[in-house]
């Protein structure tokens, strides 16, 4: 097992899923399946989250964008991985999910280095806060969004499902490389709302 897998497992033990689920869904917290959180959104399957975080290879002190923060669970996991010296910005389009996610994030004790924001209309990600060392996208794009690639720092990594395939995207200067890592299903990424 790689060190990233060990770190991800430690983060998942440190940040339980249950507080990030609606009260009537918390009994499903230990099921390895997506759980509905309302408004057509889900809290992703733990296996999928672990796979994405391992591919992302987050390091302490990094700046991370969590696009499609949903319930806030991935934002909290990323905060655990970056530690107090890092920063995580979660962005969510579903306004009704933001306050419950913020409450759960605060209760998880992530501190001031992790936050969840409402997505800006017509903006994908958080370009004014970039570039980022890591970008996690928890919604499926039809194609790799150039605006997100532009938010990657030199040497950065993005993990994003594109057309049902999990991609690991790396940026080295002007060079962008992608590798494929299996088939996954996600809610659609809203790019222009």
Q: How distant, in Å, are the alpha carbons of 19, 35, 74, 114 from that of 23?
A: 8, 12, 18, 23
- β-pairing, 35-38 with 41-43? antiparallel
Nearest residue to 93 via CA among 119, 75, 67: 119
Q: Name the catalytic one among 18, 44, 71, 147.
A: 44
| Residue 138: active-site member | no
Order the strands of the 114-118 sheet from edge to edge.
Answer: 114-118, 87-92, 63-67, 132-137, 152-162, 165-172, 175-183
The token pair at 130 is 């970039």
Q: Is there a contact between 76 and 105 (Cβ–Cβ < 8 Å)?
A: yes
149's enclosing H/E stretch is helix 146-149
Q: Is there a contact between 168 and 159 (Cβ–Cβ < 8 Å)?
A: yes
Catalytic positions are 44
């Amino acid at each position: 097992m790689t060190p990233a897998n060990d770190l991800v497992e430690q983060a998942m033990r440190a940040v339980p899923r249950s507080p990030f689920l609606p009260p009537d869904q918390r009994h499903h917290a230990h099921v390895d399946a997506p759980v509905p959180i309302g408004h057509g959104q889900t809290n992703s399957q733990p296996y999928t989250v672990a796979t994405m975080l391992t591919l992302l290879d987050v390091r302490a002190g990094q700046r991370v964008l969590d696009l499609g923060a949903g319930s806030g669970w991935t934002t909290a996991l990323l905060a655990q991985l970056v530690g107090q010296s890092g920063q995580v910005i979660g962005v969510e389009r579903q306004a009704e999910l933001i306050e419950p996610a913020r409450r759960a994030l605060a209760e998880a004790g992530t501190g001031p280095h992790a936050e969840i924001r409402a997505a800006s209309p017509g903006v994908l990600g958080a370009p004014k806060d970039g570039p980022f060392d890591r970008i996690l996208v928890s919604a499926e794009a039809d194609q790799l969004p150039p605006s997100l690639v532009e938010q990657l720092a030199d040497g950065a990594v993005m993990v994003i499902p594109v057309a049902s395939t999990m991609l690991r995207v790396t940026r080295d200067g002007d060079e962008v490389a992608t590798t494929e890592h299996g088939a996954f299903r996600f809610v659609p990424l809203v790019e222009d709302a």
